[in-house]
Structure 1
Amino acid sequence: MTTALARIRAAFDGAGVTGRLHAVDIDSGAEISFGGDQPVVTASVHKLCLLVTLHQHAAEGRLDLTEQTECAPAGRTSGPTGLGAMLDPVRMSLRDAAYLMMAVSDNGAADVLLARVGLDAVNDTTAGLGLTHTYAVHTFGEFLATIKEDAGPGGAQALADPYVIARLRALDPARTNRSTARDMTRLLGSVWRDEACPPEHGAALRRLLGLQVWPHRMASGFPFDDIHVAGKTGSLPTVRNEVGVIEYPDGGRYAVAVFTRAASTAANLPRADAVIGTTAAIAVDALRGGS
C-alpha cells in the first residue's frame, strides 16, 4: 500500500491538484486512504444522498416513485443540463426526475425532489447510515445562490479570480454541503450490499448510478469493456469530484471516492479530470493485490 499511496500523491501533484481519496473492497473491507477522513465539499456528489433518501421513503410507503410532478419554468433551479436548461413546463414522475439528477447532474430535478422529501430528511438518512461527517446545508438552488452572491458584480467571469475563489462559501466544507471520502465509500458500500434500501430499491439505485453520462473522470481509469463503472460526479470552480463503484468480471467490486481541488481557476483542466481515474485505478489495483 505504501507504494500505491506514493503513486497517488505523485499523480495528484502532477495534475496540479490537492486530492483526497478513499477506496474499499466492498466485500472484504480492505481499504486504502489518502486523506480519506478530511472534510471535503461534495457539490453534486450530494445528489447521491438525496437519491438514497428518495428510495428509502418509497420503500417505507411515504411516496410513490411514479408520482407525477409539475415543473414550471418560474422558480426552477438553473443549470446547464436537464430541467435547469429547459424553457417550457415539464411534467414527469419522481423517478424520472431522479434519472435526470443522476445521469446529467440536473440541479432543477434535484430541487424538485428536495421539495418533495425535504433537506432534513436527507440529513436524517446520512445520519442513520452512520455517515457522521456528511451534512447538507443548502438545497442546490441555495447553493448556487451563495456562489452568485459571493462572486459579486463581476458575475461568472469573476470566478477566474483567485481572490474571489477564496471567499466562496461553496468551497468551504465548514459552510456548505460536505462529507469525507470515507463516508462516501461507506454509503456506496451500503447501496451495493442492499443495506441502505431493500434489494429492489438498491437495484434501482445501482441502475441510475450506472447511467451517468460523464466518462472523463473515474471511468477513464478503467477503459475496458468488461469492467463496469457506476458513479456520480461533482463540479465547482477549482473542484472536481467523483464517487463510484468499479465492478470486475471476477466479481470484485470496489467503492472509490476522489475529491480534488485545483490550484488553477481555469474551467477546463483535462489533467485534473483524468487524475480522478488515474488515482482510482491505482487504489483498486492495490486492493486487488498490486503494489
Structure 2
Amino acid sequence: MTWALVASAPSMSCTSAATEVSSAPVNCICQVAPAAGFHQVAGAVAAAGTVEITTATSAARATNTVREVCRMPRHRPAVDWPDLTVRRNAPPGRGTDAAVAWSVCVRDAGGEVVYAHRPELVLSTASVGKLLLLLEVARSLPLDLPADRRDVAPVADSGLWRFLGTDVLPVGDLAVLVASVSDNLATNVLLHRVGLDRVAALAASLGLTATALHDIVRDVRTADHAPRLSSGTAAELSLLLHRLPSIEGGPRVLDWMRTSADLSMVASAFDLDPLSHNGVTLRNKTGTDDGVRADVGVVTGPSTTVSYAVLANWPPESATVGEVLATMRALGDAIRVTVGK
C-alpha cells in the first residue's frame, strides 16, 4: 500500500507508519489533529489504496509543507522507528537534536529500503572502512601467508596483537583480529600487503562513490594526512552488506564478521553475549572515534534478514556518547522487531 503524506510542520517523517489496511483501492483525504497518530487515521479508512493525510498544527505555526511517499508492503510487522530529530536522554530544554548528523539505511532481504534517514549523507565512519580492506584481502591474499608486524610502525588503541608475544601471524588470523576487535596493527599490516590503491580500486569496481578507506590507522593525524580514516553513506554501506553474499570474497568476510565483539551500538538491542552470539545471526562492523559512532551489519532472525547501516557524527561538545548510543539502540530495537526477534 502507498501512503501519500502531506504534513504542515517544519519536520515530519512518514517512515514509521505502522498500520496497513487492505481492500479495493480508494482515495480519501483525512484531516487529523496534531496529536492524532496513523493508527487513528487508518482505523477510519475502510479500504486501501492511496491515502492522503493532511496534518496541521495551526495557521500560525505551520511554516512549510513537506510531501513524502512511503510504501508499506503487505504483512510487514508494525515497527516503531525512532524520530532522529529528538534527542534521547537529553538535558531539560535540550530535546531537539540538531547537532548530531545521522545517516541511516535499513534494507529487507530483497534489498529494498524499509527505513531511511538522510541515507546519502557522507559521514566519517572510522573503522567501518576496514570492511573494504577485508574484502580485498579475502579476494587477493592467501590466508596462510605469513605477515610480520615489524614491517609497519607500532600503533595503539583498538586491538589485541600488540599485546601478544608473536610477531608473525597468517593473513587469515589478522583478518579475524580486524573483524572481531578492529585490530589497528593488524589493519596496517594487511594494508602494507595489499596497498590503499587496490582497496580504492575495489571500491570503485563495486560502484561505491562516497564510501572509502582513506588511510592507514595513525596515532596522530596531522594536516599532511587524510583528515579521516574512512567515510561513507548509509545507502552505500547497507547495499554493500546486502550484496556481500554474491560478491567475490564476500561470504568469507561475513564469516569473519560473525566474530565481532562490539555490540555497544545498534547490536546492543539484540541482547547477545558479545563473546558468543547465541540468538539472532549477526555479522557487524563498528567504527568509533571522537564524535563518531558507526555500526553496519546483517542480522537474521526467525522472520527475515535485514542489512543496516547507522552512522552518527557530532561535535563532541554538543552531545554525549550516551545520548547517541541510546538512539542507536532504539534503531536496533526496530530492527529486532523487523527480523522477528
TM range (shorter): 0.7 to 0.9
Of the three residues 264, 269, 272, the one matched with 2:321 is 269
Deviations 1:41-60 (A, max 9, x none): 12100011110111121xxx
User: In the alignment, is residue 79 of structure 1 matched against residue 131 of structure 2?
Assistant: no
CA gap 1:74/1:267 in 2 versus in 1, 3 angstroms: farther
Amino acid at match of 2:306: Y
CA gap 1:212/1:28 in 2 versus in 1, 3 angstroms: closer
TM-score scaled by length of structure 1: 0.76
User: In the alignment, is residue 4 of structure 1 matched against residue 62 of structure 2?
Assistant: no
Partner-residue secondary structure (3-state), 2:212? coil
Provide structure 2 residue ranges, at least 5 long, that are not aligned to the other structure: 1-12, 18-79, 90-96, 273-277
Amino acid at match of 2:83: R
Offset at residue 96 of structure 1 (A): 0.4
- How many pairs does the alignment contain? 250
Of the three residues 274, 283, 286, the one matched with 1:230 is 283
User: In the alignment, is residue 111 of structure 1 matched against residue 188 of structure 2?
Assistant: yes
Amino acid at match of 2:247: A
CA gap 1:10/1:31 in 2 versus in 1, 3 angstroms: closer
CA distance in 2, matches of 1:10, 1:74: 41
Deviations 1:66-123 (A, max 9, x none): 111121297223224223x437552100010011111001111001111111101111
1:140-159 correspondence runs (5 A): 140-141=217-218, 144-146=219-221, 149=222
Deviations 1:256-278 (A, max 9, x none): 10011245449973332242231
Which residue number corresponds to residue 40 of structure 1? 123
Partner-residue secondary structure (3-state), 1:9? coil
Q: Which moved more, 1:254-263 or 1:93-102?
A: 254-263
Offset at residue 11 of structure 1 (A): 7.1
Of the three residues 27, 31, 49, the one matched with 2:114 is 31
Which residue number corresponds to residue 44 of structure 2? none
CA distance in 2, matches of 1:169, 1:277: 28
Amino acid at match of 2:109: I
Which residue number corresponds to residue 65 of structure 1? 143
Amino acid at match of 1:79: D
TM-score scaled by length of structure 2: 0.65
Amino acid at match of 1:55: A
Amino acid at match of 1:210: R
CA distance in 2, matches of 1:28, 1:256: 10
Larger Rg: 2
Which residue number corresponds to residue 186 of structure 1? 239
CA gap 1:31/1:125 in 2 versus in 1, 3 angstroms: farther
Amino acid at match of 2:330: T
CA distance in 1, matches of 2:84, 2:295: 19
Q: Is the 8 A contact 2:15 2:116 kept in 1?
A: no
Amino acid at match of 1:202: G
Which residue number corresponds to residue 135 of structure 2? 52
User: In the alignment, is residue 14 of structure 1 matched against residue 91 of structure 2?
Assistant: no
User: In the alignment, is residue 205 of structure 1 matched against residue 253 of structure 2?
Assistant: yes
CA distance in 2, matches of 1:279, 1:180: 17
Amino acid at match of 1:81: G
Partner-residue secondary structure (3-state), 1:72? helix
RMSD: 2.9
CA distance in 2, matches of 1:205, 1:277: 24
Offset at residue 179 of structure 1 (A): 1.1
CA distance in 2, matches of 1:74, 1:188: 30
CA distance in 1, matches of 2:104, 2:270: 17
Amino acid at match of 2:220: A
Q: Higher RCO, 1 or 2 (CA under 8 Å, sep at least 6)? A: 1
Q: Is the 8 A contact 1:49 1:126 kept in 2?
A: yes
CA distance in 2, matches of 1:101, 1:283: 25
Partner-residue secondary structure (3-state), 1:124? helix
Amino acid at match of 2:121: Q
Amino acid at match of 1:206: L
Q: Is the 8 A contact 2:301 2:339 kept in 1?
A: no
The sequence identity of aligned pairs, in percent, is 24
CA distance in 1, matches of 2:253, 2:152: 30
Q: Is the 8 A contact 2:260 2:284 kept in 1?
A: yes
Partner-residue secondary structure (3-state), 1:226? coil
Amino acid at match of 2:157: G
CA distance in 1, matches of 2:192, 2:201: 15
Amino acid at match of 2:235: R
Provide structure 1 residue ranges, at least 5 long, that are not aligned to the other structure: 58-62, 151-167, 171-175
